[in-house]
Amino acid sequence: MTTLTLVQGDITRQSADAIVNAANSSLLGGGGVDGAIHRRGGPAILEECRALRASRYRNGLPTGRAVATTAGALDARWVIHTVGPVYSAGEDRSELLASCYRESLRVADELGARTVAFPAVSTGVYRWPMEDAARIAVETVRNTATAVEEVRFVLFDDRAYEAFARQLG
Ligand code: AR6
C-alpha cells in the first residue's frame, strides 16, 4: 500500500530515499528543480550524469524515462532523473508525463527505495498546466504497482500545492 502525501516547499530540503529530478535529456543540468538539485547536491551528481551520457545514454535520456544517480550532499540516497515532455496544446503528450512517474517508481523499486519525493514534473519551464499535471501525477501513482511506501509530492508554491490537494481529495 502506497501512501501519497503532499508537502509545500523546496524538494532539495527533503529527506527521502530518493528525490526525483525534473531533468532534460542532456542530463547535464538546467534551471528550476534541476538547477536546485545540482547546486545543493554538489558535483558528484553531475559526475555520474556525465558517465551515463558517455555509456548508456549517448543520445541523452529519452522523454518519459528515468535513471538514478547518487544524491551527493542531499539528504537522500539517490536522485532519480526523469525527463518530462514539453507541453503541447496541439498534441496529447499525457502518456509521456504519466511514464515519468511510472518509470521513476520502477527505478525506485529496483533500488529498494521506500520513500520517494517528486516535484511537479513538466509544470515549470515545460509549461504543463498545473491542474492537468496534478491529475496525471496522482492518477498514475495510484494506478502503479510499487513497493514504495510513501510517494511525497513536493510543491513549490500555493497554486501547485492546491492543485495536488484537489486531486488527492
Ligand atoms: N523544489 C520543488 N519544486 C520546485 C523547485 C524546488 N527547489 N524549483 C522549482 N520547482 P521545472 P520542468 C517547481 O522548470 O517544467 C530545467 O531547466 C516549479 O515551480 O524545474 O519539468 C530542466 O533542466 C514547477 O512547478 O521543470 C529542463 O530543461 C516544477 O518544479 C526543464 O527545466 C517543475 O519546474 C524541465 O522543465
Q: CATH code at 9?
A: 3.40.220.10
Q: Which residue is catalytic, options 34, 75, 132, 157?
A: 34
Distance between Cα 53 and ligand 1 center (Å): 21
Q: Quick check: CB of 41 below 6 Å from ligand 1?
A: no
- Residue 77's Cβ-count burial label (10 Å; 0-12, 13-18, 19+) is middle
pLDDT at 74: 98
Q: Quick check: CB of 36 below 6 Å from ligand 1?
A: yes
Over residues 81-108, mean pLDDT = 98
Query: Is 79 in a helix, a strand, or coil?
Result: strand
pLDDT band at 97 (very low <50, low <70, confident <90, very high): very high
Contacts of 156 (CB under 8 A, 6+ apart): 8, 9, 10, 11, 119, 120
pLDDT at 130: 98
* Phi, psi for 33 (deg, rounded to 5): -60, -40
Specify the pairing of strand 78-83 against strand 66-70: antiparallel
Over residues 65-80, mean pLDDT = 98
Q: Quick check: CB of 104 below 6 Å from ligand 1?
A: no
pLDDT band at 132 (very low <50, low <70, confident <90, very high): very high
Distance between Cα 23 and ligand 1 center (Å): 8
Q: Quick check: CB of 60 below 6 Å from ligand 1?
A: no
> Among all chains, which residue has been given the C-alpha cell 527505495?
113
- Ligand 1 atom nearest to CA at 130: 25
Specify the pairing of strand 115-118 against strand 18-23: parallel
Spatial strand order of the sheet with 78-83 comes to 3-8, 150-155, 115-118, 18-23, 78-83, 66-70
- Ligand 1 atom nearest to CA at 120: 29
Over residues 28-47, mean pLDDT = 98
Summary mean pLDDT of the chain: 98
Cα 44 off chain centre by: 19
Instruction: Give the range of the structural domain holding residue 154, as residue numbers without chain letter.
Output: 3-168
Over residues 109-122, mean pLDDT = 98
Given a contact cutoff of 8 angstroms between Cβ atoms, the answer to whether 154 and 117 are in contact is yes
For the chain, percent of residues with pLDDT exceeding 70: 100
Query: Is 133 in a helix, a strand, or coil?
Result: helix
pTM: 0.99
Distance between Cα 146 and ligand 1 center (Å): 25
Respond yes or no: is residue 34 known to be catalytic: yes
Q: Whose CA is nearest to atom 27 of ligand 1?
A: 24
Number of domains in the chain: 1
Over residues 32-39, mean pLDDT = 98
